[in-house]
Amino acid sequence: MSQFNFTTLGQFIIERQHEFPYAKGELSRILRDIGIAAKVISREVNKAGIAEIIGDTGEVNVQGEDVKKLDMIGNEMFTTTLSRGGEVCAFASEEEDDMIPLKGTYSKHGNYIVCIDPLDGSSNIDVNVSIGTIFSVYRRVTAAGTEPTLADVLQPGNKLVAAGYVIYGSSTMLVYSTGKGVNGFTLDPSIGEFCLSHPDIQVPKDGKIYSLNEGNAADFPAGVQQYIAWCKDKDKNTSRPYSARYIGSMVADLHRNLLKGGIFIYPPTSKAPNGKLRLMFECIPMAFIVEQAGGKAHTGTERVLDVQPKELHQRVPIFIGSENMVNKALGFMNATS
Ligand code: AHG
Ligand code: MN
Ligand code: MN
């Protein structure tokens, strides 16, 4: 293939626009704006270490600006970009207590809602380990032109129109779906464009990687403890023992498992019966991507995408990844419940 024969994210979005529900170009513009926000956040992430050096005591940089935490930079980048666009009427973020109605000139007339986890895996920033951004897009349920309400945001994952994530790793990648499969784009810093690098991602039905914070094992339900023990058993026929891999950034752990096959679990624990991960900002969008790639995502009691959210910062346990691995883990859960 010629070195000039590549597809940028912008080109791909336009080529696929006819597949979108209500194909009026609004969702295309939202996705384009998310791509722009992702590039700016990627730039900020890349200079995270140096910002401390060029800043004065880490509080104020040489231009006299505050050195902001990366999660807040991501948050602001999204609100600013999406307010300008006018297709999005409200925004919800892991970093904000409440939903934010956007104040752009045309925002009230926007038909869409965007939810984000601006920086996922924030504890990994300081140690130069992969982090991410997670986003999801819903169509509002109240009438356009009126003030958006919480009902517009608290929609189950089966109502999503698009979701995706950005991983800031050895390269920056944006992976998204509008419900017609999953495609991945790698940022080429030399031209400043996301280029299609992983078309039609399919998660293998089986894998050899299990990812969870095993340090908490004593607080896990018996089913999860038994599943981990099973993963460690020796059995040539099922390629066990599996490998344990846990980065502590959901985006990075799931991205690896999506490409290689594997399971990621954040189980309920005796201290946190609903687990740790947030339904709206982490579990629903990642479940959408994984299902679109042919995998499975479950809370242990129901499909993640069928959970009706009751509050913005609700948490749920999650078993997500290769279908056969998730089914196996759920088998242990059911046998011990
Ligand atoms: P965030 O940085 O957005 O708060 O998310 C961190 C999450 C998730 O990315 C990761 O999988 C999980 O927390 C790790 O939790 P433990 O440290 O409890 O394993
Ligand atoms: Mn997160
Ligand atoms: Mn976060």
How many Å is the maximal CA-CA distance in the chain? Answer: 62
- Assess if CATH 3.90.79.10 describes domain 209-336: no
Contacts of residue 186, defined as CB under 8 A and 6 or more positions apart, other chains included, come to 171, 172, 173, 194, 195, 197, 198
pLDDT digits (tens, 9 = 90+) for 249-259: 999 999 999 99
In 3D space, the residue among 194, 250, 252 whose CA is nearest the CA of residue 34 turns out to be 194
Q: Give yes or no for residue 65 having a pLDDT over 70.
A: no
Average pLDDT over residues 183-200: 97
Classified as helix, coil or strand, 319 is strand
Looking from the CA of residue 264, the nearest atom of ligand 1 is: 11
Give the domain ranges of the chain: 9-198, 209-336
Show the tokens assigned to 23.
């194909």
Show the tokens assigned to 195.
């280029």
Pocket residue to mutate for ligand 1, from 277, 281, 319, most atoms within 8 A of Cβ? 277
At residue 89 the predicted structure's pLDDT band, cuts being 50, 70 and 90, is very high
According to the model, what pLDDT value does residue 23 have? 67
Average pLDDT over residues 106-110: 89
Into which CATH architecture does domain 9-198 fall? 2-Layer Sandwich (3.30)
Beta bridge partner(s), residue 117 = 134
Show the tokens assigned to 293.
């790639």
According to the model, what pLDDT value does residue 42 have? 95
Residue whose Cα lies nearest atom 14 of ligand 1: it is: 248
Same fold? 9-198, 209-336: no
| Helices 250-260, 284-292: inter-axial angle, 10-degree rounding | 10
Residues within 5 A (CB) of ion ligand 3? 94, 117, 119-120
pTM: 0.94
According to the model, what pLDDT value does residue 108 have? 87
Neighbours of 6 (CB within 10 A): 15
The C-alpha atoms of residue 80 and residue 76 are separated, in whole angstroms, by 6
Ligand 2 centroid, distance to 265 Cα (angstroms): 14
Average pLDDT over residues 239-265: 98
The C-alpha atoms of residue 193 and residue 186 are separated, in whole angstroms, by 8
Classified as helix, coil or strand, 303 is strand
Pocket of ligand 1 from Cβ distances under 6 Å? 94, 117, 120-122, 213, 248-250, 276
The C-alpha atoms of residue 19 and residue 7 are separated, in whole angstroms, by 17
Ligand 1 centroid, distance to 21 Cα (angstroms): 33
Ligand 1 centroid, distance to 260 Cα (angstroms): 21
The C-alpha atoms of residue 96 and residue 86 are separated, in whole angstroms, by 21
Average pLDDT over residues 216-227: 97
Q: Give yes or no for residue 303 having a pLDDT over 50.
A: yes
What proportion of the chain, given as a percentage, has pLDDT over 90?
80
At residue 72 the predicted structure's pLDDT band, cuts being 50, 70 and 90, is confident
According to the model, what pLDDT value does residue 21 have? 66
pLDDT digits (tens, 9 = 90+) for 194-206: 999 999 999 999 9
Which value, to the nearest 10 degrees, does the dihedral of the CA atoms of residues 188, 189, 190, 193 take?
Answer: 50
